[in-house]
Chain A
Amino acid sequence: MHRQSLSLSHPIDLSKGDAGLLSPAIASAPDALRIQGLAKSFGKTSVLKDLDLDVPRGSVYALLGRNGAGKSTLIQLMLGILQPTAGQIRMLGLDPARDGVELRQRVGYIPERLPMYDWMTVEETLRFVSPHYRNWSREDETRLVTTFRLDRTKKVRELSRGNIALLALVIAMAHDPELVLLDECTSGMDAIARSEFDRTVIDALHGSNRTVFFASHQIHEIERLCDWVGILHNGRLLLQAPVETLKSSVKMLRVTGMDKDENALAQSPNVLKAQTSGREWLITVQDYDEMTPPVKFFGGVVKEAIDLTLEEIFVALVAKEEARI
């Protein structure tokens, strides 16, 4: 097993109100999703290998990964649509393979391709879906439909893609789910619809101990919303950590007067990227300690530690992993 994990200089203890800022009651609750040793192969192709993943209850967890990393397969396994080749999944304490129907009562799922019957109107779609859920709330449904300004009499084929996604969100939320699963659903949405969508997800978090799981490419959009992030690469989880921990551990150092030993730099496991900028070097490291920031680096002087966006961190981590293989 070969996994490069984020080496934290100070371990994060969730039970204290420190990183993640979950109240103690929530932090000690069992995980919303717990995956151990998961593997999935289709014939000879191995899509997921020895995956361990934990999503704390009440968190907003973002699963990042390149196309083909295995995100959609993972979600299908989580919902019980596919069966694992090996390993264990417990979602809200249930096994998706055995208790799929009960799980789908408690989970709101919005898939990438938003399949719906285009001959049905918005109203017919809602009336088609609602009797199956025991916790369906007519008030929530009405409130959401009004907020999104959806025309109940319009047929689904007449709706824009953004409106279809909003309809899917109504269906996913109106039955008071404990866990909301979003698979790349805002791609192709215009900015306004996307903002409405995200705002509804944020509002839904209030006081309900609801967990949100995103699988997405739109790292820029996700960065505002999530407090945990997991990076999937080549079927394995590269790392998972609270976003703030990640952002405080992965920084870009501006260094002057360094020995230009490129090989040593590349070999060092904590150096993700190294590039020159005039006479200075910009080194992306993954073990930055805010308590005791480094003053010297490879013989040079550290002038500044620059914050990186989640997207930059993701790109650097994946690039390092790919260079290693």
Chain B
Amino acid sequence: MYIRLDQSSGSPLYLQIVDQVKSMIAGGALRAGDRLPTVRELASELVVNPNTIAHAYQHLERERVVETRRGLGSFVSAAEPVLSLGARRARVAALLDRALVEAHHVDLNADEIRALLEERMSEMADAERSDELASSK
């Protein structure tokens, strides 16, 4: 599993792993039921402390993104959100705020921001659809 860690950003390595696994799932590189490498395998591949990998997996498990089956390994779970709508909204709101601050700094007005948002959403949907078509062939 190819995960690229950016040490210079300062952001905790386990969060980077969590984020990248999530984006792999969102992007279709990982599907429900796919097996993740073991803590040992991934630690060896990335040359990272196994505790960091374990922390990342625990985090993913807590969020029900990944589930562990005894003796078999860790698998991507079928998307079943466990967090309440409020918690989910709060998560995304924090990220949106950062984007909005940046947009404000580069002088995009409200309409431009909304248009950009629509653009990005339809692009992601398109990418997902073409992936599904490709894999069904």
Contact residue among B43, B44, B51 (Cβ-Cβ distance under 8 Å from A21):
B51
| A162 adjacent to chain B (CB < 8 Å) | no
Complex contacts, A248 vs chain B, CB 8 Å = 12
Q: Which residues of chain B from 1 to 57 have a CB within 8 Å of any chain A CB? A: 5, 7-14, 40, 43-44, 46-52, 54-55
B39 to chain A, nearest CB (A): 9
Q: How far is the CB of B15 from chain A (nearest CB, A)?
A: 9
CB of B101 within 8 Å of the partner chain: yes
Q: Is the CB of A22 within 8 A of B10?
A: no
Does B77 sit within 8 A of A, measured CB to CB?
no
For A190, what are the chain B residues with a Cβ–Cβ distance below 8 Å? none
- Which A residues are in CB contact (< 8 Å) with B48? 202, 224-225
* B10:A198 contact, CB within 8 angstroms: no
- Whether the Cβ atoms of A224 and B5 lie closer than 8 Å is yes
A226 touches B49 (CB 8 A): yes
**B residues less than 8 Å from A226 (CB atoms):** 49
Q: Does A227 contact B (CB under 8 A)?
A: yes
Interface size class of B (residues with CB under 8 A): 20 to 34
Give B9's nearest chain A residue, CB to CB: A307
Given A21-B58, A307-B12, A308-B10: A227 and B5 within 8 A (CB)?
no
* Contact between chains at A227 and B52 (CB < 8 Å): yes
Complex: how many Å from CA A191 to CA B80?
42
- A195 interface residue per 8 A CB criterion: yes
In angstroms, Cα B13 to Cα A247, docked, is 10
| A203 located at the interface, meaning its Cβ lies under 8 Å from any Cβ of chain B in the complex | yes
Determine whether A199 belongs to the interface, using a CB cutoff of 8 Å to chain B.
yes
Contact of B49 among A17, A195, A220, A227 (CB under 8 A): A227
Contact string against B for A residues 97-138, beta-carbon threshold 8 Å, 1 for contact and 0 otherwise:
000000000000000000000000000000000000000000
Q: Is A259 close to B, CB under 8 A?
A: no
Give min CB distance, A313 to chain B, whole Å: 9
Interface residue? A264 (CB, 8 A):
no
- A267 CA to B2 CA, complexed, in Å: 46
Contacts of A21 in B (CB 8 A): 51, 54-55, 58
A206 touches which one: B7, B10, B13, B50 (CB < 8 A)?
B50
Most buried by B among A202, A220, A303: A202
A312 within 8 A of B: yes
Cα–Cα distance between A233 and B66 once the two chains are bound (Å): 43
Tell whether, in the assembled complex, residue B43 and residue A202 are in contact, meaning their CB atoms are under 8 Å apart: yes
Q: How long is the Cα–Cα vector from A22 to B49 in the complex, in angstroms? A: 12
How many whole Å from A33's CB to the nearest CB in chain B? 18
CA gap between A206 and B101 in the complex, in Å = 44
Tell me whether A244 is interfacial, beta carbon within 8 Å: yes
- Tell whether A306 is near chain B: CB-to-CB under 8 Å: yes
A307, B49: Cβ atoms closer than 8 Å: no
List A contacts of B51 (CB < 8 A).
20-22, 60, 227
- Beta-carbon nearest neighbor of A201 in chain B: B47
In whole angstroms, what is the CA distance A304 to B94 when docked? Answer: 11
A195 and B10 form a contact (CB under 8 A): no
Question: Which residues of chain A from 223 to 271 have a CB within 8 Å of any chain B CB?
Answer: 223-227, 244, 247-248
Sorted nearest first, the 4 A-B pairs with minimum C-beta distance are A307-B10, A307-B11, A308-B10, A309-B10
Binding site for B on A (CB under 8 A): 17, 20-22, 60, 195, 198-199, 202-203, 205-206, 220, 223-227, 244, 247-248, 303-304, 306-309, 312
Q: List 29 A-B contacts (CB under 8 A).
A: A17-B58, A60-B49, A60-B51, A195-B47, A198-B47, A199-B44, A199-B47, A202-B43, A202-B44, A202-B48, A202-B49, A202-B50, A205-B49, A206-B50, A224-B5, A224-B7, A224-B13, A224-B49, A225-B48, A227-B49, A227-B51, A244-B14, A244-B55, A248-B12, A306-B10, A307-B9, A307-B11, A309-B7, A309-B10
Q: List B residues at the A interface (Cβ < 8 Å).
A: 5, 7-14, 40, 43-44, 46-52, 54-55, 58, 98, 101
